[in-house]
Structure 1
């Protein structure tokens, strides 16, 4: 088989493999491509495994059975989603299997006229409509639905909690999302069983392969669904006041009649009922099946509900409810090096992309702590990314919380999982579970039902994945410093880290978390070590740790992560620490010593008596350690130390703000990025609206332009527009909210980026930095 990398513009298959079988471009079809059939049970059971051969050998191929080009790798699919002009969404709701004349006549008899929705609308109509109708989907607007979602989930669990056995799909996971969908849309609750049958019929009609004898029955169900959607819409028109997205759309039609049209509203009423509940019902069934097939992961989220948001993302990645989507090539184009002709139809298999080892390490492993789970493409990407993604996330989190809290002893029954054959939507038709009602925790502690954990609406931060650790020891050091050694509760190795890394510790139940540099030995796989200075002006972090933690206690830890990396290829390093800043600097000195790098270590403090780790540092570094104690008149003379730039020398510093500012002045003449610093606090991102300027930001991938007012951060503006952006500290300290800049000048206010990175102007921290000009263009 010809290598795709060797000849990127050539056919990737053996031209002699299948004589006579050609693609529309004349290129022969490989045997695997000729056999590809997404309606086979193997595809329904495990789409990523079914197309593994494609990801590995032939990531873009033509399927003669389907008459579509099939794309299976992450980067190719994300690039297709990015460019919705070249790759039109117009065929997303087109029947993938043409039906016979009799079925078509049945649909016509119902005046079926499913037209453009937000899913399959081209530009410029799509984005204009999306902007007008987006507000109810923002995280802030979704919060009002949380109590209703909890109430519905609990009510359905109440129905079977004492039975010991249930089909979760039939008894909860279909009806609850449908109830929530109708509530969100503002639709009065109709006959659930009828709507379920209509919804399945719509899926089969659009994405399935109904047999000739089934097509007429499916057409009648779809036609009745269409007429029901019209009747509901007309009823709403008579009184469009009150809550509900469809009523909101009717009210917006009065303001924007050319954007929110009659045909759109009727089509969206029908499509919305399906989209708002079927994908969530399937996603929850997939997630529960997956978690119960991995009992250790299920136990972890039962014991620690804070893991649920990231578990949801990993479930969506590993076994999502939307397996594939469709696009139409509007011009000749290359995808993955393969020529795709104008007019070609593409099946883009997101479930395969979510298992692409080029993007996800060990992708077949189910890991609820995976730090890039939320990079999955299950919700799509760019301008057509699913608007209801955060409503789905909320429902999934609440369903998992309710079931893990009330049925932690639940297990899967022996069963064969079946799926409705179609290319795109997948979830088991039944999910049988069992448990011993006598062990229901609420029988022992009724107060359990009062416990509610916060829902993380919006994409969770990849740095918000916590793990429980045990305090192995808590030791007092000079200078009112608490030395904490933390270990895994199960004795497993602690996460690996490198000098300069830090962890976040959750300080009690207040939701407060603080960052602390790791300062032990990176080669110690048993423990993580931090040292915490008691701050008299503490907002609750250091004070809580000093007053509450003792050996044997449990703490929640996030990380490690590192934005203060030590360059192990340096010729020589000068290491400078002030006070508790010795924590990351000491780890760097240890590493320099191990590697044989030429180094010197300068440690400043008020007095030797209050300088933590001093004796250990003397023993380890000897004459390379220089102590500068203020009470001895031993202040470090930065001008003398750094007055003359030295080629090949790197300076690492951590300590009080005044010390770091003085260092920056002394190093102004040094080579670019010779000085690298770690900050404890930052006020650079503090907004003073009276001094700020508003600016405009264009989101290239999403097709949206936002105005960022003087009193708002870029991060807040992005989230207000329902754009997923990671974040953590909110102060420009951690680097988690980094976004890519395509054009425009940035006013950098973080303390993460180096001087060279700022000058390159290719990225910025959304939580604090702003535009130094009138407009920025971002890759979002």
Structure 2
């Protein structure tokens, strides 16, 4: 008899469970109602229909704590309340709490969310994203050129981190000499997501990075106010719509944090997961080499099967019913997008990568409804262009380790491979 509880192991971020969270998700979906998970102090909502129901009712389910109890703001409150924390670090934590009072996009509710979305939509138009393709393609090929002569690469460090990081840094006008620092800031903002076991010392290190980020971009915001250019930061700073209040300084900082994380962490995980599927799913690599039109379909299926963001949180603003049970006002819910993406009530053969899903629903990897991911077109572009660059530059790619030795990040909320060593023929 199996003495392990896959659900408990997943939310404790045990290695085998985060590597393959699908068993835990299937168990949760099979239950009569959302299950209360004590470790994260939230109800796990795993059925597609229930998740969509919550997402479509922002008036009843607030996004104010969308990133959950391990995100940066709750960690800041923990530092402020800890008697062991020095005054310098406590001041940095207070700064985060103060800035976070300006809810933005991911954690904003109507009507604030709608106002912000209107103000920045121009920066993410289809025309603007399409215009980025030559630049993204050049970045991808330049990265591969750095190691193409060696016949070996580590997908995460040599490519998957650097492509989206360089793209978002360029979009925000960050100079190349600061790219490594930029990545360090990104890591700090996601360090607690999906992990409940950070020490006060580790949290303190996070806030040193957070403070650096705020200092740098506060200066850049002031520069763009004086002398705007054609980058995304200037578009945010200068955003104006008749009848709408311009973004405040703190709203801009919060927005930049979200663009930083969304532009780095999630696409890094997506690119690596796509490569892993291409190398481990029989016949898949040969199929896409023979027909490049399949690449966007593989991108969508890997988004569904290996959602980089496994789920986000909502908070009930009133007593509500989800999945047949009452969710008391003030309760948190963890919307497990990854579980909904494998719900057989919506997807035929849900655990299988299929090129044609025309008869199925749409996956939840980018959310749904009002909070559908603003950067989804950029993530799709980077994934498609990045994988095509690998196919352009190689005739064969092989995994340089056993598939079962591949390790995943210790998080129930983010899903990403730590390291993927490759061998290839140029």
How high is the TM-score relative to the length of structure 1? 0.50
Structure holding more helix per residue: 2
Residue 153 of structure 2: SS of its match in structure 1? strand
For 1:258, the equivalent position in structure 2 comes to 245
2:378 alignment partner in structure 1:
391
Note the 1:735-774 alignment, pairs <5 A.
Answer: none
Matched, 1:60 2:20: no
Q: Which residue of 1 aligns with 2:289?
A: 302
| Runs of 4+ off more than 6 Å | 31-35, 254-257
2:351 paired with 1:367: no
The answer (yes or no) to whether the contact 1:233–1:269 under 8 Å persists in 2 is: no
Task: State yes or no: 1:239 paired with 2:227.
Answer: yes
Alignment of 1:52-201 (within 5 A): 52-93=26-67, 95-96=69-70, 98=75, 99-100=78-79, 101=82, 102=84, 106=89, 108-109=91-92, 111-112=95-96, 113-114=99-100, 115-201=102-188
Larger deviation, residues 365-374 vs 122-131: 365-374
CA distance in 1, matches of 2:395, 2:37: 44
Q: In 2 relative to 1, CA 45–372 (structure 1 residues): closer, same or farther, beyond 3 Å? A: farther
Give the Å deviation of 1:423.
3.4
Superposed displacement of residue 36, structure 1 = 5.8
Q: Tell me how far 1:270 sits from its aligned partner.
A: 2.3
| Equivalent in 413, 427, 434 of residue 423 of structure 2 | 434
Partner Cα distance (1:169, 1:256) in 2: 45
Q: Who is 2:23 aligned against?
A: 49
Tell me if 1:340 matches 2:334: no
Aligned to 2:43, the other structure's residue is in SS state strand
Displacement after TM superposition at 1:205 (Å): 3.3
**Which shows bigger deviation, 83-92 or 40-49?**
40-49
Report if aligned partners of 1:36, 1:65 keep a CA contact under 8 Å in 2.
Answer: no
**1:263-662 correspondence to structure 2 within 5 Å:** 263-371=250-358, 375-415=362-402, 416-436=405-425, 440=426
User: Structure 1 residues 42 and 335, CA, compared in 2 at 3 Å: closer, same or farther?
Assistant: farther
Q: Are 1:209 and 1:421, in contact at CA under 8 Å, matched by a contact in 2? A: no
**Relative to structure 1, is the Cα distance of residues 262 and 211 closer, same or farther in structure 2, using a 3 angstrom cutoff?**
closer
1:647-691 per-residue CA deviation (whole Å, 9 max, x = no partner) reads xxxxxxxxxxxxxxxxxxxxxxxxxxxxxxxxxxxxxxxxxxxxx
Conserved? CA contact 1:187–1:232, under 8 Å: no
Q: C-alpha displacement at 1:190, in angstroms?
A: 4.8
Residue 37 of structure 1 corresponds to which residue in structure 2? 11
* Distance in 2 separating the partners of 1:255 and 1:104: 46
Unaligned runs of 5+ in 1: 1-30, 441-780
SS for the counterpart of 1:252 is: coil
Number of matched pairs: 406
In the alignment, is the contact (CA less than 8 A) between 1:205 and 1:219 conserved in 2? no
Aligned mate of 2:206, from 218, 228, 246: 218
Q: Is the 8 A contact 2:34 2:44 kept in 1?
A: yes
- Tell whether the 8 Å contact from 1:297 to 1:368 is kept in structure 2 after alignment: no
Greater gyration radius: 1
Distance 1:239 1:254 in 2: 20
Once residues 301 and 335 of structure 2 are traced to their aligned partners in structure 1, the CA distance between those partners, rounded to angstroms, is 20
State the 1:181 CA deviation.
0.8
Root mean square deviation of aligned Cα: 2.3
Distance 1:36 1:161, change over 3 A: closer
What per-residue deviation string (whole Å, max 9, x for no partner) do you get for residues 327-355 of structure 1? 11111111111110111101111011111
Higher RCO by CA contacts (8 Å cutoff, separation 6 or greater) = 2
Does the 8 A contact of 2:12 with 2:39 survive in 1?
Answer: no
The answer on whether the counterparts of 1:314 and 1:374 sit within 8 Å (CA) in structure 2 is no
Structure 1 counterpart SS, 2:13? coil
- State the 1:380 CA deviation: 0.1
Corresponding position of 1:204: 191
CA contact (8 A) 1:321 1:425 kept: yes
Task: Quickly say closer, same or farther: Cα 1:225–1:302, change in 2 above 3 A.
Answer: same
2: CA distance between counterparts of 1:89 and 1:232? 28
Q: CA 1:356–1:46 in 2, change beyond 3 Å: closer, same or farther?
A: same
When residues 344 and 262 of structure 1 are mapped into structure 2, their CA distance, relative to the original with a 3 A threshold, is same
CA separation in 1, counterparts of 2:177 and 2:57? Answer: 39
Q: Higher strand proportion, which one? A: 1
* C-alpha distance 210-200 of structure 1, shift in aligned 2 (>3 A): farther
Alignment partners' CA distance in 2, 1:77 and 1:349: 8
Q: Whole-Å Cα distance in 2 between the matches of residues 434 and 262 of structure 1?
A: 47
Counterpart-to-counterpart distance in 2, 1:352 and 1:229: 36
Map of 1:690-769 to 2, 5 A cutoff?
none
Distance change in 2, residues 1:145/1:435 (3 Å) = same
CA distance in 1, matches of 2:218, 2:66: 22
SS at match of 2:304: helix
TM-score, structure 2 normalization: 0.89
Counterparts in 2 of 1:107 and 1:185: CA distance versus 1, 3 Å:
farther
Q: Deviations over 1:547-592 (max 9, x none)?
A: xxxxxxxxxxxxxxxxxxxxxxxxxxxxxxxxxxxxxxxxxxxxxx
- In structure 1, C-alpha distance between the alignment counterparts of 2:25 and 2:213, rounded to whole Å: 34
Q: Does the CA contact (< 8 Å) of 1:204 and 1:421 recur in 2?
A: no
Query: CA 1:414–1:336 in structure 2 vs 1: closer, same or farther (change >3 Å)?
Result: same
Please give the alpha-carbon distance, in whole angstroms, between the structure 1 residues aligned to 2:391 and 2:274: 12
